[in-house]
């Protein structure tokens, strides 16, 4: 038995440095629009999530809210280790602990953290050669029991431009 883990990078946000507190930097209007289109497309493809775990940063939380508004999930929880540079071992342990039959969980966060998390789950160590664009998505199939690190299957990785027409 497996579960599915979707890693979603936040949409296009304002320029780094525009906000004194980077955690408050919001999505731009274009970022909101494109993220809405991505969320709509995920629904058309039949996807939904039992829960969303998100970085508490504004641009990530807004992205999670857009997924929720599109009807893809009823639950959003923040997870502090999804902040940029957060401790990935704790993130992985958090996901490990909520595993249940047929769980589909979406994790919303930042780069390079998410692609490093993905490569750790797939190959057992961090790798720089996965490209995750803003509002892009990675889909992993993971075992319901036992070790997650190095035991997840990559079945999807897409930038918005190859998802939207």
Site for its own copies contains 147 (CB under 8 A):
no
Tokens 């602990």 label which residue?
A: 97
Among positions 122, 135, 148, 160, the unique one binding its own copies when judged by CB under 8 A: 122
Which tokens hold the place of 115? 């692609």
Residues 12 and 31: their CA atoms lie apart, in Å, by 4
Site for its own copies contains 1 (CB under 8 A):
no
Site string for its own copies, 27-46 (x = CB under 8 A): -----------------xx-
- Closer residue to its own copies (CB): 13 or 47: 47
Three-state secondary structure call for residue 93: helix
Site for its own copies contains 52 (CB under 8 A):
no
The sign one gets for the Cα dihedral 18, 23, 29, 34 is: positive
Site string for its own copies, 66-105 (x = CB under 8 A): ----------------------------------------
24: number of Cβ within 10 Å: 12
Site for its own copies contains 160 (CB under 8 A):
no
Cα angle 103, 105, 107 (rounded to 5 degrees) comes to: 165
Phi, psi of 74 (to 5 degrees): -100, -10
Q: With CB under 8 A as the contact rule, which of the stretches 57-65, 70-78, 90-98, 131-139 interacts with its own copies?
A: 131-139
Site for its own copies contains 146 (CB under 8 A):
no
Among positions 86, 109, 139, 160, the unique one binding its own copies when judged by CB under 8 A: 139
For the chain, the residue count is 165
Site for its own copies contains 127 (CB under 8 A):
yes
Three-state secondary structure call for residue 107: strand
Residues 14 and 100: their CA atoms lie apart, in Å, by 37
Residues that bind its own copies (CB under 8 A): 44-45, 119, 122-123, 127, 129-131, 133, 139, 141, 150-159, 161-162, 165
């Amino acid at each position: 038995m497996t579960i599915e883990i979707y890693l979603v990078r936040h949409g296009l946000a304002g320029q780094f440095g525009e906000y004194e507190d980077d955690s408050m930097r919001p999505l731009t209007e274009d970022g909101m629009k494109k993220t809405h289109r991505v969320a709509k497309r995920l629904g058309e493809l039949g996807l939904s999530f039992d829960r969303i775990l998100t970085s508490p940063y504004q641009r990530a939380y807004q992205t999670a809210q857009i997924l929720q508004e599109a009807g893809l999930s009823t639950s959003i929880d923040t997870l502090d280790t999804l902040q940029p540079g957060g401790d990935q071992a704790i993130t992985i342990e958090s996901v490990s602990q909520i595993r249940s039959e047929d769980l589909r969980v979406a994790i919303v966060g930042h780069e390079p953290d998410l692609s490093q998390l993905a490569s750790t789950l797939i190959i057992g160590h961090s790798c720089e050669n996965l490209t995750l664009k803003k509002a892009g998505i990675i889909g992993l199939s993971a075992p319901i029991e036992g070790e997650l690190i190095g035991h997840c299957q990559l079945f999807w990785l897409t930038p918005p431009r190859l998802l939207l027409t």
